[in-house]
Chains A and B, each alone.
Chain A
Amino acid sequence: MGSGSRSLGPSRWTALAYVLPALVVYAAFLLYPLGRSVHLSLFDWDGLSLATFVGLANYVEVVTDEGLRAAFGHALVLIVFFAGLPTVIGLAVAAVLNRAKVRGLPFFRTVVFLPQVLAMVVVGVAWRRIYAPDGSVNAVLSAVGLGDLGRAWLGDTVLALPAVGVIGTWVQTGLVTVLLLAGMSRVPGDLYEAARLDGAGAVREFFSITLPAVRGELAVALTLTVIAALKTFDLVYITTGGGPGNRTSVPAFEVYNRAFRLGEVGSAAAVGVTLTIVIFVINLAVARVGRQRT
């Protein structure tokens, strides 16, 4: 805004008055709790009796405690399923669909994006059914003669975590595909024609034209899906409750578990703050990479 319009425009105090209602609620119910979480993370507190100041001990525990290390390890596995697989599948599907102008694309988009708008509780109820001993995964296995592989998937000590991960793949793949399709549709068609005249095949076309063109969309897709993986709480709560044992426990679930079931509020806060920092750093890093390349 130029200085001329500023002299005519509303005063700075009017501007502040417009921001104030939002700021008050936001400060009271988001910024203040965030600060309080940092504060709480420095104490040993069971939520009832007097808290003892322990300095950074709760953060040391995040690194040394077996259960918490396992939880962060599980989050890494979920990142593969929530972000890695959807990105690979999404890239492949979007590239193929972008090459041939097929009909029914709007309908396809509506369908594959649908998992994004369903409450995680609903998603959890559906997948618990699919993974149940008499569910459709086992039914398909027996139908192709692999019935011996059937099991209660979410109760399996090794396969429960990948099983939860596949649900994440299901939720995120549509989002990534739709995002990449939008990016690819903006690539001018004559670029492809020129490449084809040069004799480039589908694969070279993909790596030399399509992939570089959707770098920005890829950055966004990775940010969204990695953060979704790190924030996973509802899904674990509904499908496995962190079990069997703690095989599917993740940081977000540990925050809840420690604060409201185990009475380790300080530790819960430290896990929460660590998670917030990790998410913040990933966001900054991806934003920076995206900006440099585009």
Chain B
Amino acid sequence: MISRVERGANYVLLLVFATFALWPVGTIVVAALGSDGAPGGLANFAAAWETGRFGSSMLTSVAVSAFVVVVAGVFSLMAGYAFGTMTVPGGTVLFALFLLGLTVPTEVIVVPLYFDLRTFGLTNTFWAIALPQVAQSLAFGTFWMRAYFRSSPTSIVEAARLDGAGTWRILWRILVPAGRPAIVTMIVLTFMWTWNEFLIPLVMASNGQLRTAPLGLAFFQGQYSSGFALLAAGAVIVALPVVVVYLFLQRHFLRGMLDGAVRE
């Protein structure tokens, strides 16, 4: 039996741990509403939005994230479908190459990408920020969707095939609707990784014309020195989209990040 003392100690432990986890978050939220060099209250967010030029950086982040999520999502679905249910020529090697991408650090690809894209005049463009992230997301997406398609019942697919449905129709009419949970997990993780990515936009948009939200916050921190309130408000603005998605769909974050790590 668990004694009352032990139970009480457990609640203390929970409380201490939760406080540790929330302390930095609380620091930011409280400061964001404070009046350290700012009007104070919710007006801080409007002021930070103006001063930190978050309007344009948030818009860039929305565009990049939407592009990466949609393109990487559709391509991952297609590739995962083929790897999971069909015989792809050289499939074992090709799939191993996709798995390789799960471990390749961004640092090693960003250096040659910068110099090669500069040769083509593509640095400081939307594409230079978005396409490398599509490639990175494809590694996880293909791995994740293949696992789903392998586990989907073949009987439904066979039945549809006998009814004369083509592979394209089977994918979009049967497998995609049935695989919504797995697909949502892929989407939220791709969104989070893209939204939070720092190194790729830092290097690829080095002239500072095109900024994503995290990059905008980093520049804001470097330039703005009159009080902490507006910087904190900026941090809240940048973190909010992912945090909101997390609060509503946290099951997907947990499952994706934990199961996604358990590779064969």
Contact = CB atoms under 8 A, between A and B. Distances in A.
Nearest to B9: A96
A26 B101 contact: yes
Interface residues of A, number: 95
Contact of B88 (A12, A40, A121): A12
A52 B214 CA distance: 37
Contacts, number: 287
B51 interface: no
Contact of A119 (B18, B24, B31, B196): B196
A100 B103 contact: no
Given A6-B87, A111-B22, A117 B243 contact: yes
Contacts of B71: 25
Interface in B19-55: 20-25, 27-28, 31
A64 interface: no
Interface stretch (A15-23, A54-62, A66-74, A146-154): A15-23
Given A22-B79, A30-B139, A34-B109, A102 B88 contact: no
B242 A117 contact: yes
Given A129-B27, A178-B254, A234-B199, A100 B79 contact: no
26 contacts: A9-B85, A10-B167, A19-B82, A30-B138, A33-B109, A47-B115, A108-B14, A110-B247, A114-B22, A118-B239, A120-B198, A123-B24, A125-B221, A125-B231, A126-B235, A136-B27, A231-B105, A231-B106, A238-B218, A256-B202, A260-B203, A268-B111, A275-B105, A280-B100, A280-B103, A287-B263
Interface of A: 1, 5-6, 8-10, 12-16, 18-19, 21-23, 25-26, 28-31, 33-34, 36-37, 39-40, 47, 93, 96-97, 99-100, 102, 104, 108-123, 125-130, 136, 170, 173-175, 177-179, 182, 216, 220, 223-224, 227, 230-231, 233-234, 237-238, 251-252, 255-256, 259-260, 265, 268-269, 272-273, 275-276, 279-280, 283, 287
Interface of B: 2, 6-7, 9-11, 13-14, 17-18, 20-25, 27-28, 31, 71, 74-76, 78-79, 81-83, 85-89, 91, 94, 97-98, 100-101, 103-116, 131-132, 134-136, 138-139, 141-142, 154, 158, 161, 167, 192, 195-196, 198-199, 202-203, 206, 213-215, 217-218, 221, 228, 231-232, 234-235, 238-239, 242-243, 246-247, 250, 253-254, 257-258, 261-263
